[in-house]
Amino acid sequence: MKRNLIQSVTLALATAPLVLVGCGGSSQVGGGGGGGTTSPIVFQSDRSGNMDVWISTVTRGGPEQLTTAPGFDGQPALSPDGRKIAFTSDRAGSLDIYVMNADGSNQVRLTFFPGDAKDPSFHPSGQQIAFVAQDVDGVFQVYVIPTAGGSPTQLTTGTAAHAEPAFSPDGQRIAFASEEDGDLELFVMSAQGSNKQQLTSNAVADTMPAWHPDGTRLAYVSKDGNNRDIWVILVSSGARQRLTTEPAGDLAPCYSPDGQVIAFQSDRAGGVDQIFLMSAVNGSGVQNVTNSTSNDGAPCF
Ligand SMILES: [Ca+2]
Ligand SMILES: [Ca+2]
Ligand SMILES: [Ca+2]
């Protein structure tokens, strides 16, 4: 029996306001047996006093803090099998990519660039992580690195900054943002860095691509002036659909495993960033699922 995600969250909030739960169709957590109706959400929050990675699951109860380093720990990405979390931390000085078990144990530093490395995304196999890091000229390029550790492979070159790579659900492509034509646009390339295809072409910043589980479209953020909103773009045609219209900053979209719901970060509730859910079809049913006084964001199923 499959429950609707937004209804499930409503039920959970009715009994435990700080419990952020997910309910997708295809993701299993922690090796659980049948059912298949619960998906964890990882997110970043400064509710402990500084930014850290948190996870919320139905099976383990309320949100759990997974990192405790005093600086920035955020941008969590959950591996498709739910066992690993990649994240960004400045605990060694500059920003680097780290990986840990989904219970917070065994936190391992993966990158050792002199500059910053950020924006991790898992390959669907879980064996590889895409990210961006500053090359020798200080330009952010897309790289991949084995999840188990090893040498990074640089996939992009040139003088334009790259950001937010995202592996497609079939692992064949990587979507990313790049300011190649003067402002940020979305691109898709092969997982080897070839066959680059430009998806957006306009005068505003287009960023934060997130694949729908069926691989046909991306949710992303378009920033017009100071107003960021969530849009969806079809990879095949470039046809676009706007999902949010609030004047607030709406960003960091992430699809639920069944593709029915988008989680995103917004400051529309006043002052702090919170995590919201909405229908992935038309942006309806927007619901604040963190309801905290801290900054909560960067949700990832
Ligand atoms: Ca921290
Ligand atoms: Ca643009
Ligand atoms: Ca907005």
Closest ligand to the CA of 248? 3
Name 235's bridge partners: none
2 pLDDT more than 80: no
Ligand 3 centroid to Cα of residue 255, in Å, is: 18
Structure pTM?
0.88
Domain spanning 5-300: CATH superfamily: TolB, C-terminal domain (2.120.10.30)
pLDDT tens string 175-220: 999 998 889 999 999 999 999 999 999 999 999 999 999 999 999 9
pLDDT tens string 214-251: 999 999 999 988 899 999 999 999 999 999 999 999 99
Which of 59, 144, 54 is CA-nearest to residue 102?
Answer: 54
Ligand 3 centroid to Cα of residue 244, in Å, is: 6
Closest ligand to the CA of 67? 1
Closest ligand to the CA of 233? 2
Q: Where are the domains of the chain?
A: 5-300
Closest ligand to the CA of 202? 2
Residues contacting residue 190 through CB under 8 Å, at least 6 positions apart: 172, 173, 174
* Nearest-angstrom CA–CA distance, 86 and 119: 9
Ligand 1 centroid to Cα of residue 222, in Å, is: 28
Ligand 1 centroid to Cα of residue 52, in Å, is: 4
Helix (H) and strand (E) counts for the chain?
Answer: 1, 24
* Nearest-angstrom CA–CA distance, 106 and 122: 18
| Percent of residues, the chain, with pLDDT higher than 90 | 82
CA atoms within 13 A on the CB side of 224: 9
